[in-house]
Amino acid sequence: MTTLADLYQQEENLKRFALLRKLGEGIMSSVYQCHDKETEDVVAIKVIRGNLVEDEQTLTLLKQDIKILRKISQRNICRIFDLGVFPEHAYVVMDYIEGVQLSSIIRVEGLMPDFRKVPIALKILEGIETAHQHDLAHLNIRPNNILITSNFEPVITDLGLARCLETQVVTDSGRILDNIIYLSPEQIADKNVDYRADIYSFGLLLYELLTKQLPFPDSDPFSMALDHFQQKPTSPREYNPYISESLENIIMKCLEKDRDFRYQNTTGIIQDIQNTFQLDQTKSKAASKLKALVADDDPLYSITFSEMLKKLEMDVILCSNGLEAVSKCIEEKPDIIFMEVALPKINGILASEILLSTTTTRKIPIVIVSSKTDEECIISSSKIGVKDYLVKPVQIDDIKQRLKFWLNK
């Protein structure tokens, strides 16, 4: 098997690169880390084996793609600087990216936290979008071709090389692609392929990134090829119930078998994911808000007090008497209770005593609120386990200063 060292004897231009180490090897190519003696940069050189140079049309297209790639500078695309072609081999010089394949990260639980995944998917899309804007389709979007750097920046590799890097197995029944699980139906059918194939492959990648599963149950290439044409993808929410319905819809639209029903461009996917992500964050923020119950029979003061709590990002439940306060607390289980002493039906001290002796509410902090300083009331409330005692008018700064103490934070 020819190595980069062997090619030094055939290609004069390669002598400017000092071989540092071998990075990896596949069926059709090998990748090396090298030092560029002229620029002092560390680069990667991919040596491509096979009949590339025998296919004049493929070689011409590759040269055109690399000419375009030299002009593209986008952080999520690995730049390619040069191409060399000689009998039975070719090589490309590209950026050396210090990173881990996305496929490895998907396999290892906990290597990437969930909150990183959607932003990473968006950055991958931005790279694909840039390529499409330059009339370049990747045609081999899959986790092995995405590198994740130490700061969780994804970099798409092998852009422009898909035509000559098909890892193929030839059988009596025909050609079966090794990477068939990431190919669109039209690629498998060997139809005229365009950039919408990348959208299908991105849908598969996003599915796996969020679920650690593949959308089709079959594992052998023949069955999986049929799945791309016939099988409806398993709902990603079956594997990961935390995926929102709107995000699932985005994935499934990417995976439409008829490309006319898919997203027609990456811009639409980016906008829909951003909208979904913002909506999910809003829901998450709303779900994480503190819930406060305010029991006071003075409507004006209740509203004033609740507005202060809302400014502190709290949801507020209002009650006008002691019995209602007890009932609502047991039902709603708020994070904190503000209880006026002089409440109708049962007073605030008795209501607090009931709540502090009830299993479902006894751990909820209660703050007694009164219009005056009453030592007897303070002592009584302290004995039953009330957290604090406030005298009206309460200021928002009073709440800010004491909130962590009330919540034991």
Residue positions forming the annotated binding site for ATP: 46
Q: Specify the amino acid at residue 304.
A: T
C-beta of residue 62 within 8 angstroms of C-beta of residue 161: yes
CA–CA dist 249, 257 (Å, integer): 14
Q: How far apart are CA 69 and CA 270, in angstroms?
A: 23
CB atoms within 10 A of CB 406: 17
Nearest-angstrom CA–CA distance, 166 and 181:
13
Name residues whose C-beta falls within 8 Å of residue 108's C-beta, 6 or more positions apart in sequence.
Answer: none
Binding-site residue ranges: 46
CB 287 within 8 A of CB 244: no
Radius of gyration of the chain (CA): 32
Q: Which long-range contacts (CB under 8 A, 24 or more apart) does 231-235 make?
A: 233/207
Q: Report the alpha-carbon distance of residue 185 to residue 230 in Å, rounded.
A: 10
CA 23 to CA 26: how far, in whole Å?
11
Q: Is the peptide bond before 344 cis (omega within 30 degrees of 0)?
A: no
The owner of tokens 């999520």 is 76
Cα gap 154→119, rounded to integer Å? 10
- DSSP classification of residue 395: P
